[in-house]
Amino acid sequence: MLLKAPLLVCIAAVANAAVISVEAATTTPADAVPAATPAPTLITPTGEDLVKRKVIATKTEASLSTPSPWLRTISSTHIELVTPVIIGGVTFSAKPKNVKTPLPWLSVHPNGFLKTITPKVKNQVTQNASPDYGNWFDYPVTSTIKLADVIKDHDGKEDDTHHDVTYVHEKNHEDRLLNPIMRCTPDRYFKKKVNGEKIEQKPFCSPSENTKIILGEVHWITWYTRYFANADKVRLHMAYVERGKNGILQKRGVESLEEDTFFTTEWLDNLDGVYPLEITEDDLLGKPIQDVVLSIQPDYIDDEDFSLTNGTLLTLRRYPLKPTKKTKQLQLEKKSDKSALYVALTIPTIMVFFFVGYVLINFLFRDNRTWKKIKIRSRRRLNERYTPLPSNTFELQNRS
């Protein structure tokens, strides 16, 4: 049975971190302040029925309190109201404690798990600082400059020019900085072996090829957003694959994308670059392990032209290879429940079998029971007519 999975709670919830742009009333006259207008969201709001899938661990979120909204100063006349949210235990759009102390950030393991990194400032040097992405997310802008106009006493030709390249930040760059999760860049691509050659698994940084996706755990999918430079939206697909000859994985043959995928997100903002994945029991189809392929589709490729084969192979598992405390506890609880059930069912079952066997044996050997014949003989012997002994010679002679 194919499932059309909606978008997970994380991406939709982070949409609440929308920045409301207002003019600073403290530095600008009141009549100059325009009405508050919504600015571009940190992460695009999509999928209103996300709660149906219940992908994010609600226990984790319930144990954390959402920080209060805070004001962020962009410029002397531009202030933004930022509302933090907690998604899968991760706080997005959090307020820095102070200007001198950078916020903790989250590194992403190749399997999609997160690790908190806390920067420290020592001797005015920041240790364990968040990654410097360089120009990975900037757009090059080339301008032609006439050298005679900028260089005094230029001794070259009058029409000599220079092509100057500068880099411009992506749109909503300030909003992207509020995402504490490490972004995917090409230098972090995982390399997989294909026919003896190492090939980068573009555009994903996590999870890497052959990662075990564990039931009940959140694995963060990250991709390089500039890989789809012309895409505003993308969506993720997962489809089952089968092991053919020699253990080689191959996609199950079906006619359409809709029939092939058991998991498909809503259209996501490509610039988000992150997505929390948590599988459900239904995804395993009653088995402990399922092999799947993860693919990403940009909005400029139609469903008919999109191929699921160009993706990352993953393995869905009910439990990890090395049990964690959480999985050990779950296994112990299930074993104890099963043991009690076995005891409750075993004793009545034995009694039923014993009773049925007793009745069956009596029925089969009903004609060979020795006590029946003994009882009949005894009854005949007791019921025989009594002949008294002769009391005189006359009776004795007559009897003989």
**Given the DSSP bridges, would you call strands 125-127 and 114-117 parallel, antiparallel or unpaired?**
unpaired
CB proximity list for 252: less than 8 A, separation 6 or greater = 239, 240, 241, 242, 260
How confident is the prediction along the chain (400 residues), in pLDDT tens digits per residue?
A: 334 344 333 444 444 433 333 333 333 333 433 333 333 333 433 333 333 333 333 333 444 577 888 888 877 788 888 888 887 677 787 787 766 777 889 999 999 999 999 988 888 888 888 888 889 998 889 988 887 777 877 676 767 888 889 888 888 777 777 888 999 999 999 887 777 788 888 999 999 999 999 999 999 999 999 999 899 999 999 999 886 665 555 555 444 455 578 999 999 999 989 999 999 999 999 999 999 999 999 999 999 899 887 789 999 998 865 655 665 566 666 666 666 777 778 888 888 888 888 888 877 776 665 555 445 455 555 556 667 777 777 777 776 6
| The pLDDT value given to residue 15 | 40
* Residues 307/293, Cβ–Cβ less than 8 Å: no
| The pLDDT value given to residue 280 | 93
Write the DSSP assignment of 310-346 as a string of letters.
SSEEEEEESS-SS--HHHHHHHHHHHHHHHHHHHHHH
* Residues 232/299, Cβ–Cβ less than 8 Å: yes
Q: Calculate the CA 357 to chain-centre distance.
A: 53
* Residues 384/390, Cβ–Cβ less than 8 Å: no
pTM (two decimals): 0.61
Taking alpha carbons only, the member of 263, 305, 255 closest to residue 282 is 263
| The pLDDT value given to residue 389 | 74
CB proximity list for 144: less than 8 A, separation 6 or greater = 161, 162, 163, 164
Taking alpha carbons only, the member of 83, 56, 62 closest to residue 71 is 83
Distance, in Å, from the CA atom of 47 to the CA atom of 275, rounded to the nearest integer, reads: 13
Distance, in Å, from the CA atom of 183 to the CA atom of 167, rounded to the nearest integer, reads: 19
| The pLDDT value given to residue 36 | 37
The sign one gets for the Cα dihedral 369, 372, 375, 381 is negative
Strand partners, 72: 80
Phi, psi of 278, rounded to the nearest 5 degrees = -140, 120
Distance, in Å, from the CA atom of 184 to the CA atom of 224, rounded to the nearest integer, reads: 5
| The pLDDT value given to residue 399 | 67
Distance, in Å, from the CA atom of 117 to the CA atom of 129, rounded to the nearest integer, reads: 8
* Residues 308/295, Cβ–Cβ less than 8 Å: yes
Torsion of CA 234, 235, 238, 244, to 10 degrees: -30
The sign one gets for the Cα dihedral 113, 103, 89, 226 is negative
